[in-house]
Chains A and B, each alone.
Chain A
Amino acid sequence: MPLLLLVVAALLAAAPLVLPVFVLTLLTEALILGLFAMSLDLMVGYTRLISFGHAAAYGLGAYGAGYILLHSATPLPLAILAASLFAGVVAVGVAWVCTMATGVSFSMLTLAFAQLLFAIAFKWTSVTGASDGLAGIPRRAGPFGLTVFETKVGYYELALFCLGVAYVFCRALVNAPFGAVLRGIRENEAKMLSLGYNTRLYKIAVVAISFALGGLAGALYSPFAGFANTDLVYWLFSGQVLIMVIVGGQGTLLGPILGAAFFMLVQQVLSKWTESWALFFGLIFIGFVMFAPEGIWGLLSRWRVRA
């Protein structure tokens, strides 16, 4: 399995040599969304913390990176890292409040926070550009005069690298004792409590990590697209990323990445083909629920077992 993964990663890294530039652009966005969906999987798939407000993480990263790049001479990679950390730090506060509740109430609290953030983004003109958002976000050169990220190929490789590192990190995390505790919380929180684990601390930690990675995705997105706006914090986007995780296969890390790519690319292709793309898009999701309950990853595994 790791071998196959390495082959896929190598193929992806070599892809710019053969792929036309528009495919590369689409792939870059798919990688970024994949990272975003994977970050949510830590909460949803491994800890059963169903967040309805994960767009907040993306938005914090996107606005954070955008603001830094527009208002300072910070090099691109540093700006992205800083924005990601910023999302993680904010998440500690959010998680502290949200983890007072469990189950559906937790979901609702995350939704409330994200929507509040949306309202703030909509009003705080000097920082977020209000309804227009931030436009013309540059990809600043550096550090050490590095200009490679200004190119499409360079940015693609950067996104791929971030996704790769994040994946290795997440995989290590869920395989570590920390991950075992998370799964314990998912299966039976009361039991974990009685075993002496401070489950709330674990939950706060996983939310913060998830937000930092989601923020990383957002921070990669805004210099890629050149802009950030309130749509990135809106509840609809939170709902969509949740769907990406589910359609990909929750609790698998790789599944949500595929789910995100699937979500974006199918929408892109369908809407080219018909104005009524939403109709078919909806039918696909219903079809998945009915016939492939384990998501894309489940389908792939089943196919692999058979083959």
Chain B
Amino acid sequence: MDLLPFLVTQCLNAFSQAALLFFLGVGLTLIFGIMRIVNFAHGTFYMLGAFVGYTTVRITGSFWLALVVAPLVAGSIGAAFELGLLRRLYRRDASAFLMVTFGLTLVLEEVIRLTWGVQALQVEVPDLFAGIVFLFDEPFPVYRLFLAGAGVVVAIAIWQFLERTRLGLLIRATSQNSEMVHALGVDVNMVRSGIFGIGCGLAALGGVLAAPLVTASLGMAANAIIDAFVIVIIGGMGSFLGSLIAAVLVAFVQVFGNYYFPDFALAAMYLLMLLVLVIRPGGLLGKEA
């Protein structure tokens, strides 16, 4: 394979992976930015998305519907969790959140295991994107192009949401100074429930989109949560743009690192994280916490 076709296909691969990492990381970073919570359960919501997506496809036959249903289900559970439990803990220190989300992870994972069983489940690529295109005579899956595209669309949508809508404005304001927003007569609690739900929903969206690549399985959560942490840490906790840049960076390091230095594939991501943190302890675009 010549260099140019190689570079083009690998870059496209990296962008498709970046999209998945972005869906995973952005929800976590938004939650952290507003609520100062390290949500241990984030990977579990990602996994929940894949399983709900599987069932939706099985029942309705529509992948598109799964892209709506799974985030709604995960988002509702997330919001309910915030309303029922997290809300009572805001006066407590960070360790309370750590433990309560750890507990939620155990509970949710077991519920998923009891509901769907231990067998990994296949989610087919929707027919529209099941084909391949030829780039310089090399076959490339259309679904990966779709993933990269979806990443761009969702990133723009979140950005516009943060910039243009009232809730977005409140989210940005709350992350700067929640007392101030409260003093202005805004129901900060509503913002918190909303953002927790949205964050979990985004993770679930990532789960549905990843399912055709990796199948829906019980190993997804543990695998995903550490990726999500890495994205958030590199990007800077609470930074939307940071998580976008970090996702692209990590995806490129993984794709090209795996190719040129397969022996260091496991360490590469952590080295990158360490490097960024040593240079900028708060992450690329984060304030030092």
Contact = CB atoms under 8 A, between A and B. Distances in A.
- Do A and B have CB atoms closer than 8 angstroms in the complex? yes
A108 B111 CA distance: 30
B267 A279 contact: no
B286 to A, nearest CB: 8
Contacts of A278: 106-107, 109-110
Which of A115, A236, A243 has the most CB atoms of chain B within a 10 A radius of its CB?
Answer: A115
B270 interface: yes
A279 B106 contact: yes
A175 interface: no
B222 to A, nearest CB: 7
A288 B85 CA distance: 12
Contacts of B212: none
Given A282-B103, A283-B107, A286-B103, A120 B267 contact: yes
Interface in A101-159: 101-105, 108-109, 111-113, 115-116, 119-120, 122-123
B95 A103 contact: no
Interface stretch (B46-54, B185-193, B272-280): B272-280
Contacts of A108: 229, 233, 237, 273, 277, 283
B142 interface: no
A195 interface: no
A109 B100 contact: no
Given A101-B277, A119-B266, A243-B102, A276 B289 contact: no
Given A109-B281, A286-B107, A243 B233 contact: no
Interface in A62-113: 97, 100-105, 108-109, 111-113
B30 to A, nearest CB: 15
* Majority-rule SS of A interface residues: helix
Contacts of A112: 233, 270, 273-274, 277
A232 interface: no
Interface stretch (B14-22, B86-94, B130-138, B151-159): B86-94
A105 B109 CA distance: 28
Contacts of B65: none
A105 B277 contact: yes
Contact of A235 (B100, B226, B237): B226
B150 interface: no
B99 A247 contact: yes
Interface residues of A, number: 41
A289 interface: yes
Interface residues of B, number: 43
A285 B109 contact: no
Contacts of B109: 278
A111 B225 CA distance: 13
Interface string B12-34: 00000000000000000000000
Contacts of B111: 279
B289 A286 contact: no
B288 A102 contact: yes
Contacts of B229: 108, 111
Contacts of B108: 282
A246 interface: yes
B284 to A, nearest CB: 12
A239 B101 CA distance: 11
Contact of B282 (A105, A113, A276): A105
A226 interface: no
Contacts of B92: 293
Contacts of B277: 101, 105, 108-109, 112
A28 B237 CA distance: 40
B180 interface: no
Contacts of A97: 278
B238 to A, nearest CB: 10
Nearest to B236: A105
Nearest to B91: A293
A236 B226 CA distance: 9
A168 interface: no
A204 to B, nearest CB: 16
Contacts of B102: 239, 243, 282, 285
A100 B267 contact: no
Which of B88, B92, B222, B282 has the most CB atoms of chain A within a 10 A radius of its CB?
Answer: B282
A120 B266 CA distance: 9
B110 to A, nearest CB: 4
A279 B110 contact: yes
A42 interface: no
A284 interface: yes
A300 B19 CA distance: 49
B98 interface: yes
B271 interface: yes
Contact of A289 (B100, B114, B226): B100
9 smallest beta-carbon distances between A and B, as pairs: A282-B106, A285-B103, A101-B281, A282-B107, A119-B267, A279-B110, A286-B103, A104-B289, A282-B103
8 contacts: A105-B281, A108-B237, A109-B274, A279-B114, A282-B108, A285-B99, A285-B100, A285-B103
Given A101-B282, A111-B233, 5 more contacts: A101-B288, A102-B281, A122-B266, A247-B99, A281-B106
Interface of A: 44, 50, 97, 100-105, 108-109, 111-113, 115-116, 119-120, 122-123, 235-236, 239, 242-243, 246-247, 250, 276, 278-279, 281-286, 288-290, 293
